[in-house]
Structure 1
Amino acid sequence: MNQIYETQADRTDLPLVAIPCVFEDMVAPLKDALALLDGIARVRMFEDYTLDANTFVERAQGADAVIVIGVHISDDMLRALANTVRCMAFGGTGVASYIDFDLARELNVRVCNVRHYGDAAVAEFTFALILELARRVGDLDRELRAGDWNGVSSVELAGKTLAIVGFGGIGQTVARIAQGFGMHVTAWNSGRGPRERYTEHNVTPIADMKELFASADVVSIHMPLVGGTRGMIGSAELDALRPGTMFVNTARAEIIAPGALVKRLERGDIPAGLDVYYQEPLPTDSPLLDIPGLVLTPHVAWRSDGANRNLTRQCVEDIAAYFEGGKKNVVVDPDEA
């Protein structure tokens, strides 16, 4: 039987917050954060993780607000939840690929996210992928265990150029790590935001995306998914990559035009590390699984002990603000439609 954790269960006068599923490593930090809802809302949390849509909706029955951890909310799910739910707090930053904003607004559901909760976590994981592509530690471990002592030559990062697309909190953290390895760092200059940030981080801005890609030894994507960034990287940009350039995406798959990355990777000359996909979980018949030279992980760059604490607290703060008439991390506000 599923373990259910409840707070203020006897306070039926208070609104109900449902947490229909949660990763095991987030249960403890969530319980700590739920004290912020004392006297504001009662909570019903299911201490397991499920991707089953019907189960998720059933567990949220009667809730006024829902905390969503790692679950894509389909249009059908959203319509069912909107019978009672007026606020949804997502445990992530780029929630545009998890819920239809226009439909949420139409159904009068506020959508909140969390911000800068995992800059260090994602940046560190980005380098875990880069290092795996460059030094192939996983492959070497498997070969040694199979009795192979030959080893392989690998790529030294010192002196190489890392190009960053998306120079916000995560991108800037990645830049600092890269410079610790002795790498030269460039970044796409979108023309938005203060130009001083490039100087402050000793990063060379490049306005032309194809030029950025063509001059890089490693490319790492850190753009948020918003209307203007969907499909912003296409075949023309990917074709500018030189053979051997490492490509890493820990942001959102939808930043890249549909099919463009698979087409480029199928040439077999670009090693890549991917943590995000157009369809999640990644289908077992995905062509990515048959392309050599790839490191694929199940959208976990954001998951760390520190990020878990920041994420869960912000989710609870989002909900508390809603019930108290305030606003925190609001990305869809039906009142401003």
Structure 2
Amino acid sequence: MLSSVHQFSHVYVERDITESPMSRGVLQRLYDSGQNPRIIPVEHYKDVFNRPRQSFRIQKHQPALILAREREHFLYRGNERINSWKQSGLFYNALVRNCVYNCDYCFLQGMHGSAHSVMFLNNRDFIHAAERQLEKGPVYMSISYLSEILAFEPLYPYAREWLEFARGREDFALEIRTKSDYYQAIADLEPSANSFLVWSLSPEQVSREHERGTASFRNRLFAASRAAEDGWPLKLTFDPVLELENWQDLYGNMIEETFRRIPPEKVQEVSFGVFRMNQDFLKRIRTVRPESPVLYGDFRKTGELVSYAPDFIREVREFMTGRLRAYISPEKIFFVHG
């Protein structure tokens, strides 16, 4: 939900959509929520978003919103690093660029030089791209890989429109992943068998210290349990597992509490992974967060990927798999790396 954490100091609006119903609707909802940001017309969102010498860290304390129209990139093919369930036909899109949350380890800090959020308001063009791909074969679509979509639902109903599009399409599966507790934004919709709600869960200490702005572990768990009770297909992901001093206690207790509150039979699949990142992204993020200990672990480089030492990865894989098998059958547990 938009709260005081997600206030926007400025709203940049591309000139050719200034008077569009979508832009006017977003601005009205901002006003209705009590915000009164400065409105600034721009020719193209990249004039603001891609400016050189921006400070991601400073902007995070007073982020702006950019309302834009995507003109080129409506669909991306997923790779092994983001394929939590070993799905074929995996695709994702970027309805929103950047996230209102402020996680230490978020790769978006390395991908983008700006902390401002870009909302693309021509959602129908993204949906049409999915329709065209669907003509070629089955599609498993993630609409939340590059942002926290549910956090923007009060401004524009991205999730609602995609859930309605997915309903009844046998060769199309939709994934909405979240660290929020804003299930109420879509709770009135009838559950759909091919639309998966995925909660990303972290131990309370991790969410408090390294995932600023996100919902607490218990609030996420409560939202996920409500969705499961309502009949939504539910998946859970514990990713990334961080190499902290007491990591086994933290993640072991988290798994135990998760399945104490959510019946295991309500969970379709579970995935987990360790911290991993493109080396260039990590270098940039360290300049933004030089004080964050999770960015300075005992890392090894394999190709362009930076992650923990193989022995630790093996230890995490064995520990998490063993704990999860107490609740979930092995064929529903996935380790994600690459």
Q: Which has the larger radius of gyration?
A: 1
Output the TM-score relative to the length of structure 2.
0.29
Output the TM-score relative to the length of structure 1.
0.29
Larger RCO: 1 or 2 (CA < 8 Å, sep 6+): 1
